[in-house]
């Protein structure tokens, strides 16, 4: 497997780009790349030439996260002041705005069926689930307090929830916190199951393997990428190689490789069979905040976005 650069757009945004995700194709258009940036805009790019399709404005602070509905028609973006805007991709009509106290919205992900939007709740130490039909809050999955701490004790804010991921069957939900713990929830019963331990610094990104609802990949500031058996509560693999924080991770649609982006300004491709880094792309000149594999389509594509304001697209084969 390898990555080959296809196209890179310098100054794709006016400032640092913080988030990227792929909108699946619909009947009327091919898949689009969605990026969110500190310049308070969300932009859509047509693959493979990375032609700018549209720029959405409306946020008042930097856009920290974007999420794409599995059907490709709806997307959501959130800014640092925790203002979530859900919009129709083709018309840019606002479908809903979800408000939460600032710092209580971080990463967002739609569930595989598209019925629920999970929002990592930042300082609230929980994951909020929004129904995508009514856009009402349907559940709050809270991380239980560690034993021995009083409810009045505000050290609960230590569990700042940064990232969230759905298992491919939609039954489980995992979220990563600032103190390095990962919490796994049973979504149907709305119940906390257990913590996964091993990271000791913030977990900024995590993703389930598309084939195996047990296998979870996590990226952390402690420079490691971990592979967990999320059901058996066991750390089953450790991939190290980045020189600084690992900010983002995504798994390839064939489930054979993962890509990571890091503060050391590189994108790495990891072969899961070898559990080793097989390629390092160092075309970015600042930290890489987002990597995303294109979910469908014939040729494998990986996009990466960075603080250096550029978007890069690679061929994955």
Of the residues 238, 278, 285, 299, which one makes contact with other proteins according to CB under 8 A: 238
Residues 252-281 that bind other proteins (CB under 8 A): 263, 275
What gap in Å lies between CA 275 and CA 224, rounded to an integer?
Answer: 12
| H helix or E strand, kind and range, residue 132 | none
Of the residues 233, 278, 285, 296, which one makes contact with other proteins according to CB under 8 A: 233
Of the residues 287, 304, 310, 312, which one makes contact with other proteins according to CB under 8 A: 287
11 part of the interface to other proteins, by CB under 8 A = no
Minimum distance from residue 39 beta carbon to other proteins (Å): 8
2 part of the interface to other proteins, by CB under 8 A = no
Nearer to other proteins, 190 or 237 (CB): 237
Burial code (b: 16+ CB inside 10 Å, e: under 16) for 262-289 equals: bbbbbbbbbbbeeeebebebebbeebbb
CA within 13 Å, CB half, 203: 29
What gap in Å lies between CA 292 and CA 312, rounded to an integer?
Answer: 11
Of the residues 8, 235, 241, 300, which one makes contact with other proteins according to CB under 8 A: 235
The count of other CB atoms within 10 Å of the CB of residue 236 is: 14
> Which residue stretch of 46-54, 58-66, 84-92, 128-136 sits at the interface with other proteins (rule: CB under 8 A)?
58-66
> Which residue stretch of 68-76, 89-97, 155-163, 168-176 sits at the interface with other proteins (rule: CB under 8 A)?
155-163
Q: Are 158 and 200 in contact (CB under 8 A)?
A: no
Length of the chain as a residue count: 317
Six-digit token string for 23: 């909108």
| H helix or E strand, kind and range, residue 122 | none
Residues in the site for other proteins, rule: CB under 8 A? 15-16, 18, 38, 60-62, 64, 80-82, 101-104, 106, 122-123, 152-154, 157-158, 160, 162, 178, 197-202, 211-212, 214, 221-222, 224, 226-227, 229, 231-238, 240, 244-245, 263, 275, 287, 307
């Amino acid at each position: 497997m390898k990555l080959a650069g296809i196209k890179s757009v310098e100054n794709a945004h006016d400032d640092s780009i913080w988030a990227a995700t792929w909108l699946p194709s619909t009947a009327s258009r091919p898949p689009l790349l969605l990026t969110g940036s500190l310049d308070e805009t969300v932009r859509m790019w047509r693959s493979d030439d990375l032609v700018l399709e549209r720029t959405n404005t409306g946020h008042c602070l930097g856009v920290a996260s974007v999420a794409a509905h599995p059907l490709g028609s709806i997307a959501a973006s959130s800014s640092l002041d925790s203002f979530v805007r859900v919009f129709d991709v083709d018309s840019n009509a606002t479908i809903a705005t979800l408000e939460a106290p600032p710092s209580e919205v971080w990463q967002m992900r739609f569930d595989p069926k598209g019925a629920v939007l999970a929002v990592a709740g930042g300082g609230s130490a929980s994951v909020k689930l929004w129904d995508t039909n009514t856009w009402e809050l349907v559940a709050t999955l809270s991380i239980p307090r560690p034993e021995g701490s009083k409810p009045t004790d505000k050290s609960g804010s230590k569990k700042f929830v940064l990232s969230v991921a759905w298992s491919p069957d939609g039954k489980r939900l995992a979220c990563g916190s600032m103190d390095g713990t990962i919490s796994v929830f049973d979504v149907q019963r709305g119940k906390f199951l257990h913590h996964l331990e091993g990271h000791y610094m913030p977990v900024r990104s995590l993703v389930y393997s598309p084939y195996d609802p047990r296998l979870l990949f996590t990226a952390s500031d402690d420079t490691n990428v971990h592979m967990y058996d999320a059901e058996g509560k066991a750390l089953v693999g450790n991939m190290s190689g980045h020189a600084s924080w690992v900010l983002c991770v995504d798994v390839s649609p064939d489930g054979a490789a993962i890509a990571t982006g890091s503060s050391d300004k590189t994108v790495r491709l990891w072969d899961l069979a070898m559990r080793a880094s097989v390629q390092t792309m160092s075309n970015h000149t600042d930290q890489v905040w987002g990597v995303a594999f294109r979910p469908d389509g014939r040729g494998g594509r990986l996009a990466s976005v960075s603080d250096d304001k550029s978007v890069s697209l690679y061929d994955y084969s």
